[in-house]
Structure 1
Amino acid sequence: MSADPSRVRTILSVNFNHDGSGVLLREGRIAGYVTTERRSRLKKHPGLREEDLDELLDQAGADLSDIDHVMLCNLHTMDTPDIPRLHGSDLKETWLAFWVNQRNDEVSLRGRRIPCTVNPDHHLIHAATAYYTSGYDSAMAVAIDPTGCRAFAGKGSRLYPLRRDLDAWFNANIGYCYVADLMFGSSIVGAGKVMGLAPYGRPADGAGPDEEPPETVRDFAALVALADRHPRLVDVDGRKLNATLAHYIQLGLERQLTAVFAELAPLCARNGIAPDICLSGGTALNAIATQLAFESTGFERMHLHPACGDDGTAIGAALWHWHHVLGHPRLHHTNADLMYSVREYPEHTVRRAVRDHAADLVVEETGDYVARAAELVAGGAVIGWYDGAGEVGPRALGHRSIVADPRDPAMRDRLNSQVKFREHFRPFAPSVLKEHAAEWFGLSDSPFMLRATPVLKPGVPAITHVDGTSRIQSVTRQDTPAFHDLIHAFKDRTGIPMVLNTSLNTKGEPIAETPEDALRTLLGSRLDHLVLPGLIVSGRTAARS
């Protein structure tokens, strides 16, 4: 069964791999978007549930009868053992009910038969997420994750695979998973921790050569043996972790990613595309490696979608089908279009959640909650910040954030131990006014907190990692008005045009989605306050202390 392309106006797309997600694309625009874990509260939750489909339809103001085509992505092709480790089940029993015919071209969903596409190429839909949202007329699109490294030439509305056997030598993506699993018991949760730990394994100045280049290592056992020769140990929750191993795999990723960029950059002119790169896949979240590779090769611009991981593949599949398969022209997407989901929680929902916890809260009503929040942060308070629709992707971008003073040298330890409950070595990021980003970080375009650079000026130790770098978010009023005004108000009080910004959650929890989630985070941690539009909320225990 195939639909007349001219009659396909609304596409439902679902990612069944970890970081489950769904999107409703109407006339090429996102009309609804759900990340399953944000609603189930089970981190990395794969697939989509019945209630998530209801949420998508509600966001779009649509009915199931409006859906003309369904994309079923990563279905039973990429199951990871990490989900059963995290939750005791693969969670497939939670999925919505559907049936696919023998030809894989029709799905039955709630009694309705709809044309479908099953398992479009995984790396293609990763690349599509970045390319079709980039605004570039043409570009090199690269997708890298633990399952491989693929490159595509983007021209207008189409993506063409390049015949490059990058997997023949690119193996640091796989090694990164091995290191994360060895150190933290999970490849999909531990990779970011390895990136944070890696600088602690770097040889100190004057400590001698870096033994031997990681590219000479042929397998994981040899890499571990190399790291064990001169281990640099970091005490984490009573365990001695060899940070040298983290350093080596990070170094290997940086070198191999730079080699990929160097191989692909000359192909742009040869294939008639601009010297721009669109990067996606879980490896693209490694901002240190991607920025180093970009700066070392001949690309002029780089775009990353905020949902680089598999949560973005549902978006990429829908956009690929709309543009490449159906032939529709490209559309312009603002940063705000990409950064935030569709669902906003109205004031009455926020206030009802506060009323439900009234016995545990002290509530201050204020007409200028932005100025009041800036005053609290400048005075040393750690606040939760809840505003508008939730973020797309894993980074807090000023709608579901924990905000603190970047000048405080004790702030990182305070946040890790008392608020986030996570490993002491984990760094924190700054959100900086875009017009001041270059003077502080040498970079002004990083709206999605996916680029990392050296910190150029002193005075902000809480957001400066041990290697002197920081992963930054450049903030404009157009992208996120209230958060921009908060940073500006903080600057007026302190002279510092940035705040420390981390996600509104604690260890093991997805980012807060609903007002209820945000209040639970407040009451379950040592946040000083939770700021919602018009309200400053504190826990009664904290208020008395």
Structure 2
Amino acid sequence: MSSGQPDAVRTILAVNFNHDGAAVLLREGRVAGFVTTERFSRIKKHPGLREADLAELLDQAGLSLSDVDHVLLCNLHNMDSPDIALLHGSDLKETWLEFWVDQRNARVSIHGRQIPCTVNPEHHLLHAASSFYTSPFDTAVSVAIDPLGCRAYLGRGSKLMPLRRDFDSWFTANVGYCYVAEAMFGSSIVGAGKVMGLAPYGESEGASEVDLTGITRFDELVALADKDPVPVKVGDRELNARLAHYIQRGLDIQLMELFAQLGPIAARAGIGPNLCLSGGTALNVVGTEPAFAASAFERIHFYPACGDDGTAIGAALWYWHHVLGHPRQSHPNTELMYSVRQYPEQAVQSALDEHRDEISVEVVDNYVGRAADLIAGGAVIGWFDGAAEIGPRALGHRSILADPRSPTMRDRLNSEIKLREHFRPFAPSVRNERATEWFGVSDSPFMLRAAPVLKPGVPAVTHVDGTARLQTVRREDNPAYYDLIRAFEDRTGVPMVLNTSLNTKGEPIAETPQDAVRTLLDAGLDHLVLPHMIVRRREPGTAS
């Protein structure tokens, strides 16, 4: 049994029990295993951890429970999202693994093993830790914003200390955003991204000049938006895009003010001009990017899992560095972008064999070139490679890819494949060397920055306001994906492809080869590309 001394704790298990359930095994300060529960349960936003997920995690790391020296139980029963029951008819706690915590919250019993534990470290601290400890900065301001509040921390070396400021007394747009998402789409955790996509449709001449400073309640914001509505038809419903525009403007204004305040505070504290962002609101790239650009900060870092799935890794890193005092380590992009589980050729073949009557498989040497040909010819392909992404964005391992030049591609993807609202945009994956030329920024590997599209010719990834949420791709981060984009550029002159997640409506992102094949069949993709394989749906009546 570990004594609890820093040199006795080598392996840490951390679990997030709120929505976007996740767990990490940290071994000697490095991620040895990581699971997001929904990817394996196939239940979107699944909270907590199941027995099967713990077994998967230990198997990834090549460890047993006896190797675990400390456990962090995060967001346990103290902040349950009501959206889970709304989405699934249950809080899903009945699916969790069995564990017991003693009355002092000092030890947890899992499978009969008593392990020292920490229960419910401060929520925003865990968000802030995920972005600070994975950043390249020795010092930084780390900001965590989500519907529960806005907090800032000063990071220096291995320590992360709270900044004692009451931002919640005036930073309220994060909460207002939830109200708007619930009113428009029935859920805050599912609807927030939709509000962001709808917001520019509610902008018109004069709308950006409307004074929002006196608005303090949701009903006041709704009344203001109803005075000059911008109706957008979605199925049999009519949404007022003006409401989405106003709440986005409110968030923009408050982010500007927040970053403007934090810059001088950091300078006085001897903190470098470095900003780390986390929490669900960090996914609102429309607001964070201009606020960062207008601030005194010069560099910015995100952790790809900005939501509560990232709190598991944040907790483990916080305990390793801040509590135990271990020095910081560098984290390459690939370690932050992608999980641990790889699927061998046998697993791929098993998935293909399972659906052999529904698919045809072509083995090809130059699958990257063939994929580029398919995309340039108008096909929509699934792209499956390596370990799955960490966080909600497809980053070139579990992606649906298409031609950004097509003026009809966005509508086809939204209506026929993703089965989602027509106004929602798609992202470009662009070679990092060409990103500044096309978007004015570079180094956005996690698809968490937005920028204006500076050149014509890519309507499928250009939102109605002329911007895009871009992923920049370097060959050292993802060789095959980079080579695909380069091959597409060789054929078309355009150094990017349209990239969205490999799933369809109501589904988490594909994890396994079986998930990828099912997405090919259910979503109506033209092809699924795996290393050295091109898979397509078999036409009815054709021979095996």
State the TM-score bracket (shorter-chain normalisation).
over 0.9
> TM-score, normalization: structure 1?
0.98
2:525 match: secondary structure: coil
Residue identity in the other structure for 2:166: D
1:55 match: secondary structure: helix
Are 1:10 and 2:8 counterparts?
A: no
1:307 match: secondary structure: coil
| 1:157 counterpart residue number | 158
In structure 2, how many angstroms separate the alpha carbons of the residues matched to 1:418 and 1:209? 33
| 2:287 counterpart residue number | 289
| 2:86 counterpart residue number | 85
> TM-score, normalization: structure 2?
0.98
In structure 1, how many angstroms separate the alpha carbons of the residues matched to 2:8 and 2:113? 17
Query: Residues 378 and 364 (structure 1 numbering): CA distance in 2 closer, same or farther, change over 3 Å?
Result: same
| 1:541 counterpart residue number | 539
In structure 1, how many angstroms separate the alpha carbons of the residues matched to 2:447 and 2:384? 18
Matches within 5 A, 1:105-504: 105-203=106-204, 207-208=205-206, 210=208, 212-504=210-502
For residue 5 of structure 1, report the CA deviation from its aligned partner.
2.2
In structure 1, how many angstroms separate the alpha carbons of the residues matched to 2:469 and 2:190? 18
In structure 2, how many angstroms separate the alpha carbons of the residues matched to 1:539 and 1:210? 48
Residue identity in the other structure for 2:266: C
Q: What CA RMSD, in Å, does the superposition of the two structures yield over aligned residues?
A: 1.1
The 8 Å contact of residues 2 and 105 in structure 1, kept in 2 or not, is answered as: no
For residue 542 of structure 1, report the CA deviation from its aligned partner.
8.5
Residue identity in the other structure for 1:295: A
**Per-residue CA distance 1:262-314 (angstroms, 9 max, x = gap):** 01000112111101000000000001101011001110000000000000000
Residue identity in the other structure for 2:381: I
2:145 match: secondary structure: strand
Residue identity in the other structure for 1:386: F
**Per-residue CA distance 1:43-94 (angstroms, 9 max, x = gap):** 0000000000001100000010000000000000111111011111000000
368-377 or 207-216: bigger deviation = 207-216
1:216 match: secondary structure: coil
1:409 match: secondary structure: coil
Residue identity in the other structure for 2:50: R
For residue 208 of structure 1, report the CA deviation from its aligned partner.
3.6
In structure 1, how many angstroms separate the alpha carbons of the residues matched to 2:211 and 2:198? 19
For residue 212 of structure 1, report the CA deviation from its aligned partner.
2.5
The 8 Å contact of residues 476 and 484 in structure 1, kept in 2 or not, is answered as: yes
| 1:75 counterpart residue number | 76
The 8 Å contact of residues 201 and 245 in structure 1, kept in 2 or not, is answered as: yes
In structure 2, how many angstroms separate the alpha carbons of the residues matched to 1:163 and 1:472? 34
In structure 2, how many angstroms separate the alpha carbons of the residues matched to 1:81 and 1:54? 28
1:23 match: secondary structure: strand
Are 1:516 and 2:514 counterparts?
A: yes
Percent identical among aligned pairs is 69
The 8 Å contact of residues 214 and 249 in structure 1, kept in 2 or not, is answered as: no
| 1:34 counterpart residue number | 35
Residue identity in the other structure for 2:508: P
2:497 match: secondary structure: strand
Are 1:94 and 2:92 counterparts?
A: no
The 8 Å contact of residues 145 and 283 in structure 1, kept in 2 or not, is answered as: yes
In structure 1, how many angstroms separate the alpha carbons of the residues matched to 2:111 and 2:519? 36
In structure 2, how many angstroms separate the alpha carbons of the residues matched to 1:210 and 1:154? 36
Residue identity in the other structure for 1:263: Q
**Number of residues of Structure 1 aligned to a counterpart in Structure 2:** 541
Residue identity in the other structure for 2:180: V
Residue identity in the other structure for 1:285: L
The 8 Å contact of residues 139 and 155 in structure 1, kept in 2 or not, is answered as: yes
Residue identity in the other structure for 1:200: Y
Residue identity in the other structure for 1:35: T
In structure 2, how many angstroms separate the alpha carbons of the residues matched to 1:171 and 1:446? 28
For residue 173 of structure 1, report the CA deviation from its aligned partner.
0.3
In structure 2, how many angstroms separate the alpha carbons of the residues matched to 1:192 and 1:269? 33
Residue identity in the other structure for 2:369: A
In structure 2, how many angstroms separate the alpha carbons of the residues matched to 1:483 and 1:351? 22
142-151 or 80-89: bigger deviation = 80-89
Query: Residues 488 and 211 (structure 1 numbering): CA distance in 2 closer, same or farther, change over 3 Å?
Result: closer
In structure 2, how many angstroms separate the alpha carbons of the residues matched to 1:407 and 1:215? 41
Residue identity in the other structure for 1:425: F
In structure 1, how many angstroms separate the alpha carbons of the residues matched to 2:539 and 2:467? 36
Runs (5+) with no aligned partner, structure 1: none
**Per-residue CA distance 1:79-129 (angstroms, 9 max, x = gap):** 111101111100000001000001101100100000000000000010000
For residue 3 of structure 1, report the CA deviation from its aligned partner.
1.6
For residue 135 of structure 1, report the CA deviation from its aligned partner.
1.3
For residue 249 of structure 1, report the CA deviation from its aligned partner.
0.3
In structure 2, how many angstroms separate the alpha carbons of the residues matched to 1:284 and 1:218? 22
Residue identity in the other structure for 1:228: D
For residue 30 of structure 1, report the CA deviation from its aligned partner.
0.2
1:90 match: secondary structure: coil
2:529 to 531, 534, 537: 531
1:512 match: secondary structure: coil
In structure 1, how many angstroms separate the alpha carbons of the residues matched to 2:534 and 2:68? 42
